Structure 1
């Protein structure tokens, strides 16, 4: 099965409680326009459908204000689903419904974290199609990263120190924009993490340097790239996509959800459900190379687009 090919996505409706009781609402005391936030969610749901994905939509739970950010609750690669243990205690109850869907409805191979001291947010786990990076820092600890390695022994799993990065999650500043293409946010803290990743990676990647975190927020699925609208990304980063991305694109607005830390990727658990489980492999071709700055290992210099 080719990497980044999915046939299901688990999503969850936006609860009213997100406006003023979510974890991220502490950083936005004015509260959200909850109706607008729900419209943003509905747009992403429709875009995912247009990318040939079957949607499994969960009803919102007002007891869990952040329940719409489902990506933090599980790490799914192939037919294996590792149930996460979110680093913020208020979110740990969210995994119950996700577990039921993954195990009961989709009949995935569900793996539980055994170490009681482990914490793991799915937003800290970046699957490149070839290997896995886990950001250890604010929400995910060493034991949580070890749980990822144990759940997916067929892939190289590399831990990177994310504690000194301003962002909350690894995927707030690193995302795959295509086969073998990694979008990277700006800032010396992010470049420090990038150098760690280059040092431990088993494979090279093409780097697409963006000029804001919001511009880095994207989701590559079934040969399509979902990203923010131009007004949110900025002209420069949007122009970078116009120039460099040769595959179909969909732009969405995420102004309200972003106020409480929401990202495009945080709103979905993408699933490759197969009858005969096989290792997911990258299908990078020679013609896919050459459009971006190449991944360089063992250098202290920041990477930029050619």
Structure 2
């Protein structure tokens, strides 16, 4: 069960965020409203939410998931692969927030790069996608740190998605949403795979929160499949964040 969540309010510069999507620039006022609704949905799942102030010098800083991995034993500060995001990982308020909850904080060091959007937690095991943002050195360091705390990890080759969790979401109870290249990935054979069609692939980025599943708005087939598994569903519009390659999981650290 999750007890705590850390989020960061989007900044006025959000329209300058990194993007590979061709959907126009996010509108700040809309992004702000969508973020408030997201926090409200998180609160409904019974967690305590820590809200950090916006950082105008970092347009992507609302995507807090990428800068730290929160495990049951320690927090690990990442080293983002995107150069413009590298200093986000060292922001003092994030470190302070993590220190409130964690006695042990570890760091990924050069030449490793890793963004936690590439890491999917399944119990005490962590799948780490090798992407344009996460390299082998980063994955190796992460696995070494995890193992030192009695946890485990493995690297997953990937070719198409921006981040591992762009096309995967673990919903506990062995249920795994899979889209695109992950439908046939051998690493995920043993899961009960719920396959998501490419036209709703963005909807595969859901989050399980204490028996609820938060689902992005506008993906009815995804929502239907999750409801059919018996989960309580909360729907949140993240369309402004989609414009800068962001999804539901990117917007929070959950532990």
TM-score by length of 2: 0.92
Given that 1:23 and 1:260 are in contact with CA atoms closer than 8 Å, whether structure 2 keeps it comes out as: yes
Match of 2:10 among 5, 11, 14: 14
Separation (CA, whole Å) in 1 of partners of 2:188 and 2:22 = 35
Mark the CA change 1:156 to 1:30 in structure 2 (over 3 Å): closer, same or farther: closer
- Find out whether 1:191 has 2:187 as its counterpart: no
Structure 1 unpaired stretches of 5+:
272-306
For 1:131, the equivalent position in structure 2 comes to 125
Match of 1:180 among 171, 174, 178: 174
Given that 1:28 and 1:260 are in contact with CA atoms closer than 8 Å, whether structure 2 keeps it comes out as: no
**Count of residues paired in the alignment:** 249
Match of 1:109 among 79, 104, 107: 104
Aligned counterparts, 1:1-306, within 5 A = 5-19=1-15, 21-24=16-19, 27-28=21-22, 30-97=24-91, 98-103=94-99, 105-114=100-109, 116-153=110-147, 154-162=150-158, 164-165=159-160, 167-185=161-179, 187=180, 189-192=181-184, 194-195=185-186, 197-198=187-188, 204-211=190-197, 212-229=200-217, 232-234=218-220, 236-244=221-229, 246-271=230-255
Q: What SS is found at the alignment partner of 2:171?
A: strand
Given that 1:126 and 1:170 are in contact with CA atoms closer than 8 Å, whether structure 2 keeps it comes out as: yes
Separation (CA, whole Å) in 1 of partners of 2:223 and 2:209 = 19
After TM superposition, give the deviation of residue 28 of structure 1 in Å: 4.1
* CA distances 1:160-214 after superposition (whole Å, capped 9, x unpaired): 111x22x2000000111232211001x3x3334x22x147xxxx32111112222
After TM superposition, give the deviation of residue 243 of structure 1 in Å: 1.8
Separation (CA, whole Å) in 1 of partners of 2:231 and 2:167 = 22
Q: CA RMSD in A?
A: 1.6
Separation (CA, whole Å) in 2 of partners of 1:51 and 1:238 = 17
After TM superposition, give the deviation of residue 129 of structure 1 in Å: 1.5
* CA distances 1:128-187 after superposition (whole Å, capped 9, x unpaired): 12421100121000111112111211233111111x22x2000000111232211001x3
Q: What SS is found at the alignment partner of 1:178?
A: coil
TM-score by length of 1: 0.77
Separation (CA, whole Å) in 2 of partners of 1:94 and 1:226 = 26
